[in-house]
Amino acid sequence: MPAKKVEARVEQLRRDLTEYARLYYHEGVSHVSDAEYDALYRELQALEAQHPELVDDASPTQRVGAPLPEGTSFDKVAHEVPMLSIDSLFTTEEVDDFVTSLGRFLKLEANELEAIAWSLEPKFDGVSASLLYVDGKLTRCVTRGDGAVGEDVTANLRTVRDLPLQLVGDAAPAVPALLEVRGEVLMRRDAFARLNERREERGETILANPRNATSGAVRRNDPAEVARYPLQFFPYGVARSEGAAFATHTETMEALHAWGFADSGLRRRVVGRDARIAYHDELEARRDDVPYDMDGVVAKIDDLALRERLGSRTRTLRWQYAHKFAALEAVSTLRAIEVQVGANGRLTPRAHLEPVDVGGVTVRHATLHNADHVANLGVRVGDRVFVYRAGDVIPQVEGVSRSAAGDAPKDWDASLPDSLKDTDGAVRTGVFHAWRAEFQMPSHCPACGTEAVAEGKFWRCPNRFGCPPQLVGRLEVLCGRGAFDIDRLGPKLIQQLIDAELVHSPADVFHLERDALVELDRWGAKSADNLMAQLEERRTIPFDRFLVALRIDEVGPSTAKLLAGAFGDLDGLRAATEEDFLAIDGIGEVAARKVSAWFDEPRNLELLERFAAGGVRVVPLERRAGGGVFEGLSVVVTGTLESYSRAEAKAIVEAQGGKVSSSVSAKTAFLVAGDKPGSKLKKAQELGVKVLDEEAFTAFVRGE
CA-CA distance, 567 to 561, in Å (whole number)? 10
Annotated binding residue 34: yes
- Decide: residue 263, CB within 10 A, 0-12 exposed, 13-18 middle, 19+ buried: middle
Residue 703 and residue 652 in contact, taking contact as beta carbons nearer than 8 Å: no
Annotated binding residue 461: yes
Phi, psi of 58 (to 5 degrees): -85, 0
Picking from 474, 635, 621, 632, the residue whose alpha carbon sits closest to that of residue 561 is: 621
Annotated binding residue 315: no
Contacts with 551 (C-beta within 8 Å, 6 or more apart), sequence order: 343, 344, 473, 474, 477, 478, 506
Annotated binding residue 293: no
Residue 379 and residue 334 in contact, taking contact as beta carbons nearer than 8 Å: yes
Give the helix ranges, DSSP H, for 25-151: 34-50, 92-106, 110-114
Q: How many residues are recorded in the chain?
A: 704
CA-CA distance, 440 to 436, in Å (whole number)? 13
* Crossing angle between the packed helical segments 34-50 and 3-22, to the nearest 10 degrees: 140
3-class SS letters over 48-74: HHHCHHHCCCCCHHHCCCCCCCCCCCC
Annotated binding residue 35: yes
Annotated binding residue 121: yes
Picking from 129, 83, 26, 94, the residue whose alpha carbon sits closest to that of residue 280 is: 94
The DSSP element (H or E) to which 208 belongs, if any, is none
Residue 547, SS3 per DSSP: helix
Picking from 563, 597, 568, the residue whose alpha carbon sits closest to that of residue 580 is: 563
Q: How many CB atoms lie within 10 A of CB 544?
A: 23
Annotated binding residue 140: no
Annotated binding residue 686: no
Annotated binding residue 300: yes
Residue 343 and residue 477 in contact, taking contact as beta carbons nearer than 8 Å: yes
Annotated binding residue 594: no
Phi, psi of 349 (to 5 degrees): -75, 140
The β-bridge relationship of strands 268-271 and 178-186 is: unpaired
Annotated binding residue 5: no
Annotated binding residue 587: no
Annotated binding residue 324: yes
Pick the catalytic residue: 4, 5, 76, 123?
123
CA-CA distance, 343 to 472, in Å (whole number)? 7
CA-CA distance, 322 to 88, in Å (whole number)? 5
The DSSP element (H or E) to which 557 belongs, if any, is helix 557-567
CA-CA distance, 557 to 555, in Å (whole number)? 7
Annotated binding residue 680: no
Annotated binding residue 571: no
Annotated binding residue 467: yes
DSSP codes of every residue in 487-517: TT--HHHHHHHHHTTS-SSGGGGGG--HHHH
The yes-or-no answer on residue 123 being catalytic is yes
CA-CA distance, 531 to 634, in Å (whole number)? 46
Residue 435 and residue 382 in contact, taking contact as beta carbons nearer than 8 Å: yes
Classify residue 391 by its DSSP letter.
Answer: T
Binding residues: 34-38, 85-86, 121, 144, 184, 300, 324, 445, 448, 461, 467
Q: Looking at the annotation, which residues are catalytic?
A: 123
Binding residues for NAD(+): 34-38, 85-86, 121, 144, 184, 300, 324
Binding residues for Zn(2+): 445, 448, 461, 467
